[in-house]
């Protein structure tokens, strides 16, 4: 990749990430205010959400702005503040990646390997279930791609 393309990518990727995060949070804040209440999920799901965002740079397609982050709220706030302070000229270590399929496929299943059931919690809000399924599929795809050397 030539130097000009790297410079453009180094500038555009952080700007797009920040714009996307703040765009979703602003839109979702108005929805949350209209509904008047936050959705509460379990600690393990919020921990996985934080790990996927903070460690791996994954931003879920599921709207998480109305999900109560509980004791993790200061960590999410600090992560967002850090992203907002990023200089557009800072070098970004990530490259654009192919879109990851959200559902595990038969290609992933190998002979003799059991497909584990998702850890759904009876009676949990649909937003939590949707986020849980998205994170389950994302982690599986991410680690399979990592193992394959992509």
Q: Give the tens place of pLDDT for each residue, 16-44.
A: 444 454 454 444 444 444 455 899 999 99
Residue 102 is given by DSSP the state: S
How many beta carbons lie within 10 A of that of residue 135, not counting itself? Answer: 19
Residue 66 domain boundaries: 3-147
Number of domains in the chain: 1
Contact yes or no for 17/83 (Cβ under 8 A): yes
Q: Is the distance from CB of 58 to CB of 141 less than 8 angstroms?
A: no
What distance in Å separates the CA atoms of residue 143 and residue 150, rounded to the nearest whole number? 10
Tens digit of pLDDT for each residue in 60-117? Answer: 999 999 999 999 999 999 998 888 887 765 554 444 444 444 444 445 456 678 888 8
């Amino acid at each position: 990749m030539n130097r000009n393309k790297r410079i453009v990518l180094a500038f555009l990727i952080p700007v797009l990430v920040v714009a996307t995060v703040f765009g979703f949070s602003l839109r979702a804040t108005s929805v949350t205010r209209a509904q008047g209440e936050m959705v509460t999920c379990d600690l393990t799901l919020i921990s996985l959400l934080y790990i996927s965002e903070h460690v791996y740079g994954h931003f879920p397609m599921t709207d998480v702005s109305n999900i109560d982050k509980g004791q993790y709220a200061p960590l999410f706030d600090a992560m967002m503040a850090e992203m907002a302070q990023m200089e557009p000229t800072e070098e970004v270590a990530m490259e654009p990646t192919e879109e990851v399929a959200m559902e595990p496929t038969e290609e992933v299943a190998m002979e003799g390997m059991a497909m584990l059931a998702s850890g759904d919690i009876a009676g949990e809000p649909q937003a939590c279930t949707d986020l849980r399924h998205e994170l389950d599929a994302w982690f599986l795809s991410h680690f399979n791609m990592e193992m394959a050397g992509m």
